[in-house]
């Protein structure tokens, strides 16, 4: 019996300017994982329709996220970069997963509750089914690892639940066809067609908070531009936003325990640590006892040093639209071949006469 080959998949929605949270929580990890694994990175344009169907500039935003991937260091030749809607097998598998997942599972998703707000009856069905499409994005490649920010943890748990239910419901067919793969779950060894995907979450920057409110995550859709640092912000804008970031009057502590109950301080230390690739403890060792009036300029310098080259590369790559489109087309073809191989077996397992 074979075991799953390590494969990384992740996606970003083309719903606005990428910010430091997207970069530190997700894209920086995408870049690092390229060294050790085969990776597939996707601009999830179908997901972006769940919140807002009509986008004036969906195509432009899809290209812009692609440029951000490339500018950050993702290699589209060695790995795969494409936009989701090019590979229709994502939607096909999502439909099957809609029939595997239970409405109760979807109703419990905190992202659905947050995004639907009080008027749940009026939210799109797509918003409710979002995690099912996300599970399909991952499992259509039978991906084993998914780098994401902490906000996506619950969706990844649901992805595992969907995989496990599919594996259980169809276990006799999977065995008959001999398409099962061996997996360890705790002490047990089980066989299934879909892997139980592992999230890659963690480090000091797994959840970057708003610069204006340490209790809210940094988000593309926050109405205040001062709440986030966009990857395209220039040096002056980055410095201004960090200068204006909300803080408390106390000096920085020397130990991580001292950040408890100080969400804004904890956030700025986490950002510094994420950008410098060190732990929060190491940042506090250097800056413990210092005031924010000293720490903020150091953080601004570091942010500019790390982000300015990416912004410059993004501008250069974005100017060559034909190149960006060619990357997406080529990536879509390669992703499509892999996705179709999975779907052929899925259709056979279920008994759909589509092959
Ligand atoms: N604040 C954050 N800290 C760490 N990671 C984050 N991510 C998003 N915000 C933070 C991670 O970025 C990846 C891509 O996110 P997405 O655009 O697909 O979806 P999102 O989580 O909905 O992003 P936003 O910025 O919050 O958009 P809106 O405002 O539209 O909801 C994911 O891996 C995510 O975890």
pLDDT cut 70: percent of the chain above it: 99
Which domain covers residue 51, as residue numbers? 8-204+321-350
**Residue 301 included in any domain:** yes
**Residue 212 included in any domain:** no
**Residue 275 included in any domain:** yes
| CATH code at position 291 | 1.10.240.10
Residues 303, 330, single domain; the answer is no
Residues 273, 160, single domain; the answer is no
pLDDT tens for each residue of 167-185? 999 999 999 999 999 887 7
**Residue 302 included in any domain:** yes
At a CB cut-off of 8 Å and minimum separation 6, what does 181 contact? 1, 2, 3, 4, 191, 192, 193, 195
**Residue 215 included in any domain:** no
- CA 87, CA 105: separation in Å to the nearest integer? 26
Is the minimum distance from the CB of 218 to ligand 1 under 6 angstroms? yes
**Residue 310 included in any domain:** yes
Rg for the chain (alpha carbons), in Å?
21
pTM for the model stands at 0.95
Given a contact cutoff of 8 angstroms between Cβ atoms, the answer to whether 277 and 290 are in contact is: no
| 14 alpha carbon – ligand 1 mean position (Å) | 11
Q: Which atom of ligand 1 is nearest to the CA of 152?
A: 35
Residues 280, 329, single domain; the answer is no
At a CB cut-off of 8 Å and minimum separation 6, what does 250 contact? 262, 265
**Residue that is written with structure tokens 């390669």 in the block:** 334
Residues 113, 43, single domain; the answer is yes
Task: Report whether pLDDT(187) > 90.
Answer: no
Is the minimum distance from the CB of 221 to ligand 1 under 6 angstroms? yes
**Residue 216 included in any domain:** no
pLDDT cut 90: percent of the chain above it: 89
DSSP H or E stretch at residue 61: helix 58-72
**Residue that is written with structure tokens 């595992």 in the block:** 160
- CA 243, CA 238: separation in Å to the nearest integer? 9
Report the domain count for the chain: 2
Q: Select the more confidently predicted residue: 350 or 118.
A: 350
Residues 262, 114, single domain; the answer is no
pLDDT tens for each residue of 88-122? 999 999 999 999 999 999 999 999 999 999 889 99
**Residue 213 included in any domain:** no
Residues 118, 257, single domain; the answer is no
């Amino acid at each position: 019996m074979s075991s799953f080959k390590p494969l990384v998949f992740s996606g970003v929605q083309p719903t606005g300017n990428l910010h430091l949270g997207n970069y530190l929580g997700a894209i920086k990890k995408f870049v690092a994982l390229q060294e050790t694994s085969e990776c597939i990175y996707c601009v999830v344009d179908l997901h972006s329709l769940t919140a807002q169907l009509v986008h004036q500039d969906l195509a432009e935003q899809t290209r812009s996220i692609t440029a951000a991937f490339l500018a950050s260091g993702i290699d589209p030749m060695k790995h795969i970069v494409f936009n989701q809607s090019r590979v229709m097998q994502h939607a096909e598998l999502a439909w099957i997963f809609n029939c595997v997942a239970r409405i109760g599972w979807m109703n419990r998703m905190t992202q659905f509750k947050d995004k639907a707000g009080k008027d749940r009856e009026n939210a799109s069905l797509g918003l409710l089914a979002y995690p099912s499409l996300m599970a399909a994005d991952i499992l259509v490649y039978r991906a084993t690892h998914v780098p994401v920010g902490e906000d996506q943890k619950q969706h990844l748990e649901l992805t595992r639940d969907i995989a496990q239910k599919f594996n259980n419901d169809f276990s006799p067919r999977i065995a008959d066809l001999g398409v099962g793969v061996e997996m360890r779950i705790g002490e047990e060894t089980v066989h299934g067609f879909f892997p139980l995907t592992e999230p890659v979450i963690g480090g000091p920057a797994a959840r970057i908070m708003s610069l204006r409110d340490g209790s809210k995550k940094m988000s593309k859709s926050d109405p205040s531009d001062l709440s986030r640092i966009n990857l395209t912000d220039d040096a002056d804008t980055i410095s201004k936003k960090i200068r204006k970031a909300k803080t408390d009057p106390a000096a920085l502590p020397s130990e991580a325990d001292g950040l408890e109950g100080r969400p804004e301080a904890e956030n700025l230390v986490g950002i510094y640590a994420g950008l410098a690739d060190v732990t929060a403890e190491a940042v506090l060792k250097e800056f413990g006892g210092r005031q924010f009036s000293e720490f903020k300029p150091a953080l601004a310098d570091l942010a500019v040093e790390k982000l300015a080259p990416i912004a410059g590369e993004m501008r250069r790559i974005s100017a060559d639209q034909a190149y960006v489109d060619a990357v997406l087309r080529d990536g879509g073809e390669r992703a499509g071949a892999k996705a179709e191989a999975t779907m052929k077996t899925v259709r056979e397992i279920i008994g759909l006469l589509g092959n």
